[in-house]
């Protein structure tokens, strides 16, 4: 009894001292809460705006993902890396990588903002093939600069291993988004008018804005503390060397060197995903559906069924966060046995989780579709998609292992292959057999990705 208590005490003490463990726990818990809020938010949206409205709203996802890839995603990663390096080596000037990254990211985000706002008609009509997205695109464009600012600031806090602030900002963003949409919708209904799906886009912009304010307040507080610490050093009588103006050019070089390849990879993947998202409703029309039906089917699949199927992925995402540093450390130390052991345990437990979820969704999918979304079609999709559970949960963690082994290039190539398989099914089968063809493609691509990941790991283990 006492021995067990002592072990728990020792573990908790070590956890408090280890920022990686604390950060992982904070991100996991906050991510899980955000997913729960987001899940019920989607249920609310589906009941408020209907299946067709959800389909129109989902068409915005590729535009948002592509603009984030162009303006912020890679810069957040680069800032985190360089801040962590300078902190570990006690080189000082830890704010400079963030300033350099932000001075690149913010202009890019404003450019994306302007392009989407000014070309909303062309993007909505000719690229998304849905004129009703034009007004939504103009509203959405204003979220991009807000997202860029708080992403770069988050990169700084990840770099100094203070994951609590980004986690809190994520949760505040989700709450602000949901609260805004709920308040505006209730007010509109009270006034006797029917809210449009544009309300959901306004909520997205408000959420990003509030998140940006939270992170800006946090970075201001961190900088003020840094200045106070510097003044305290002066008051001790220690006279540091005379300050020399610091150029950001060396930081620009390092950040761009890392960010540009990451951006290129993400853009390629986002473009393929954008083609996928736009092509599904278009090919459903060739199958014989009218515009409203095609968007409704697409909305039910991507806005209702798939979020439920991916909900348990919160657990595997947490495992992936833990695996990446573990694999990286073991590989750096030459401990291949630890890498093999971690890989085997991951495959075993993620497959078990996937099999359990497959059974749950397979047997209760129809009930879940009717109960949660009031949609028989959602129930059919949940039941059908249950078969991909073992593969999608495995793919998340296997990808993390490969990243820990320094195989980011391999992951990119394999993901492109996976997307090309899905596109082939969309163009070849959806016009002939409807949405079922896409479901076949989804299953085939996830199976192929899982096999490719395992073959890549097998090859690595064989040569070590």
Output the CA–CA distances (angstroms, integers) from residue 445 to 153, 315, 414, 449, 458, in the order listed.
36, 22, 10, 6, 20
Closest CA to 380 of 444, 310, 311, 435: 435
pLDDT (0 to 100) of residue 322: 56
Q: Six-digit token pair at 449?
A: 């990705």
Contacts by residues 257-261 (CB-CB < 8 Å, ≥ 24 positions apart)? 258/74, 258/77, 258/78, 258/81, 259/74, 259/75, 259/77, 259/78, 259/101, 259/104, 260/74
Domain assignment present for 280: no
The reply to whether 84 and 154 lie within a common domain is: yes
The reply to whether 31 and 155 lie within a common domain is: yes
The reply to whether 378 and 457 lie within a common domain is: yes
Cα–Cα distance for residue pair 142/150, rounded to 1 Å: 14
Cα–Cα distance for residue pair 390/351, rounded to 1 Å: 5
pLDDT (0 to 100) of residue 14: 45
Max Cα-Cα span within the chain:
81
Cα–Cα distance for residue pair 50/375, rounded to 1 Å: 10
The reply to whether 229 and 321 lie within a common domain is: no
Domain assignment present for 460: yes
What's the half-sphere exposure (Cβ side, CA atoms, 13 Å) at 321? 19
Sign of the dihedral defined by the CA atoms of residues 319, 321, 325, 327, in that order: positive
Q: What is the DSSP string of 143-160?
A: HHHHHHHHHHHHHHHHHT
pLDDT (0 to 100) of residue 1: 44
Cα–Cα distance for residue pair 53/48, rounded to 1 Å: 9
Q: Six-digit token pair at 138?
A: 């103009």
Contact 30, 24 (CB under 8 A): no
The reply to whether 327 and 256 lie within a common domain is: no
Domain assignment present for 60: yes
Cα–Cα distance for residue pair 395/453, rounded to 1 Å: 7
Domain assignment present for 285: no
Domain assignment present for 298: no
Contact 178, 241 (CB under 8 A): no
pLDDT (0 to 100) of residue 208: 95
Q: What is the 3-state secondary structure (H, E, C) of 125-141?
A: HHHCCCHHHHHHHHHHC
The reply to whether 332 and 428 lie within a common domain is: yes
Q: Six-digit token pair at 104?
A: 């690149």
Output the CA–CA distances (angstroms, integers) from residue 185 to 40, 49, 98, 177, 190, in the order listed.
16, 10, 38, 12, 8
Domain assignment present for 11: no
Domain range enclosing 442: 312-464
Local confidence pLDDT in tens for the 464 residues of the chain: 434 443 434 334 444 444 445 555 666 677 778 878 887 888 888 888 888 888 899 889 889 989 998 998 888 878 887 787 777 666 667 788 899 999 999 999 999 999 999 999 999 999 888 899 999 999 999 999 999 999 999 888 877 777 778 888 888 999 999 999 999 999 888 888 888 889 999 999 999 999 999 999 999 988 888 677 666 655 555 444 444 445 667 778 888 887 887 788 888 888 888 899 889 999 999 998 988 899 899 889 988 898 888 887 766 766 665 565 566 666 666 777 877 887 788 788 888 888 998 999 999 999 998 888 888 899 999 999 999 888 888 888 888 788 767 777 788 888 899 999 999 999 999 999 999 999 999 999 999 999 999 898 888 877 77
Cα–Cα distance for residue pair 422/277, rounded to 1 Å: 11
Contacts by residues 383-386 (CB-CB < 8 Å, ≥ 24 positions apart)? 384/436, 384/439, 385/305, 385/306, 385/309, 385/361, 385/439, 385/442, 386/309, 386/357, 386/358, 386/359, 386/360, 386/361, 386/362
The reply to whether 336 and 207 lie within a common domain is: no
The reply to whether 349 and 438 lie within a common domain is: yes
Domain assignment present for 244: no
Q: 């691509």: which residue's tokens?
A: 445
Domain assignment present for 338: yes
Tally of domains in the chain: 2
pLDDT (0 to 100) of residue 379: 92
């Amino acid at each position: 009894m006492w021995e067990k208590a002592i072990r728990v005490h020792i573990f908790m003490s070590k956890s408090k001292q280890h920022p990686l463990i604390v950060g992982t726990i904070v991100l996991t818990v906050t991510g899980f809460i955000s997913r729960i809020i987001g899940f019920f938010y989607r249920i609310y949206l589906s009941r408020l705006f209907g299946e067709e409205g959800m389909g129109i709203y989902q068409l915005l996802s590729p535009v948002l993902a592509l603009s984030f890839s162009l303006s912020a995603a890679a810069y957040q990663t680069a800032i985190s890396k360089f801040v962590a390096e300078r902190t570990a080596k006690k080189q000082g000037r830890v704010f400079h990588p963030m300033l350099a990254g932000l001075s690149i990211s913010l202009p890019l985000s404003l450019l994306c903002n302007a392009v989407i706002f000014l070309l909303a008609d062309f993007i909505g009509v000719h690229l998304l093939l849905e004129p009703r997205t034009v007004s939504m695109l103009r509203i959405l464009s204003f979220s991009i600069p807000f997202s860029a600012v708080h992403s770069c600031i988050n990169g700084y806090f990840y770099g100094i291993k203070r994951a609590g602030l980004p986690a809190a900002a994520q949760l505040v963003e989700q709450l602000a988004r949901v609260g805004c949409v709920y308040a505006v919708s209730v007010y509109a209904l009270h006034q006797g008018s029917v809210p449009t799906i544009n309300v959901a886009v306004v909520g997205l912009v408000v959420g990003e804005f509030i998140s940006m304010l939270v992170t800006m307040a946090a970075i201001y507080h961190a900088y003020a503390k840094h200045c106070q610490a510097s003044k305290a050093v002066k008051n001790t009588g220690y006279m540091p060397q005379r300050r020399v103006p610091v150029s950001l050019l060396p930081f620009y070089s390092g950040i761009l060197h890392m960010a540009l390849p990451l951006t290129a990879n993400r853009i390629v993947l986002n473009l393929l995903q954008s083609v996928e998202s736009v092509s599904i409703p278009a090919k459903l029309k060739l199958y014989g559906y009218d515009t409203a039906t095609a968007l409704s089917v697409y909305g039910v699949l991507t806005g209702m069924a798939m979020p439920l199927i991916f909900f348990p992925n919160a657990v595997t995402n947490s495992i992936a966060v833990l695996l990446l540093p573990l694999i990286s450390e073991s590989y750096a130390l030459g401990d291949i046995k630890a890498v093999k052991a971690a890989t085997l345990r991951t495959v075993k437990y993620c497959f078990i989780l996937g099999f359990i979820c497959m059974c749950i969704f397979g047997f209760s999918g129809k009930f879940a579709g009717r109960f949660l979304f009031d949609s028989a079609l959602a129930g059919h999709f949940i039941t059908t998609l249950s078969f991909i559970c073992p593969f999608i949960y495995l793919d998340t963690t296997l990808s993390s292992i490969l990243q820990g082994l320094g195989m980011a290039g391999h992951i990119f190539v394999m993901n492109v292959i996976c997307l090309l398989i899905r596109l082939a099914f969309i163009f070849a089968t959806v016009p002939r057999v409807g949405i079922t063809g896409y479901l076949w493609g989804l299953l085939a691509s996830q199976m192929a990705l899982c096999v490719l990941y395992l073959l890549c790991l097998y090859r690595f283990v064989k040569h070590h």
